[in-house]
Amino acid sequence: MKPAICVFCGSRPGKEPRYLQAAVFLGHLMVSEGIGLVYGGATSGLMGAIADSVLEKGGTVIGVLPEFLSSKEIAHKEITELILVPTMHERKLLMYEKSIAFIALPGGIGTLEELVEVTSWNQLGVLSKPIGILNVNGFFDPLLQQLDHMVAEGFLDSQTREWIEVSADPEELFEKIIKRSRI
């Protein structure tokens, strides 16, 4: 199996067209570098856009979707492999196991929760995989300010904060993530 990056992103497209453009560009970039995609398994929003962009270029896409969401988020039937699981916990665990790294694109509360969980798991030593944020249009600026505030106030160590690579440029972020993943 080729190495894959797990991408967390919205099941909605968002209001800014640059979000969709970034998802498509990142998907194409991943294929050009021989990297597969692991994601949430839906056809909608940024999730569908990145999956379709990887497929369009002949890449591998693994979707992991809880059974109860398969109608709500509309399971993507065209991907390389769709894995239906009983719970959100099993979804995330499987996504984490199948990935060499993680990248967050803009999204909602689910995206935020997944990003925070992998960061927490790295901090606790459960994982040791690179984490990146593609900060399209400054979307994650408030979160990054909060993380820096947590460090300043002594609730988050600076090493955990430094685990998270951030860039508005997909190519720069991808290079940082690949370098840290040692593939």
Domain residue limits, the chain = 4-181
> 4-181 maps to which CATH number?
3.40.50.450
Distance CA 118, CA 129 (A): 9
For a pLDDT cut of 90, what percent of the chain falls above it? 85
Q: What is the pLDDT of residue 182?
A: 67
Please provide the average confidence, as pLDDT, over all residues in the chain.
94
The average pLDDT across 125-143 equals: 95
Q: What is the pLDDT of residue 92?
A: 92
8 A C-beta contact, residue 175 and residue 5 = no
Q: What is the pLDDT of residue 54?
A: 98
Q: What is the pLDDT of residue 175?
A: 92
pLDDT at 13 over 60: yes
pLDDT at 87 over 80: yes
Confidence of residue 1 (pLDDT cuts 50, 70, 90): low
Give me 154's structure tokens. 């002594």
The average pLDDT across 120-130 equals: 91
Confidence of residue 74 (pLDDT cuts 50, 70, 90): confident
Distance CA 35, CA 19 (A): 21
Q: What is the pLDDT of residue 75?
A: 87
Give ∠ CA 158-95-137 in degrees, rounded to 5. 55
Q: What is the pLDDT of residue 183?
A: 57
Neighbours of 10 (CB within 10 A): 22
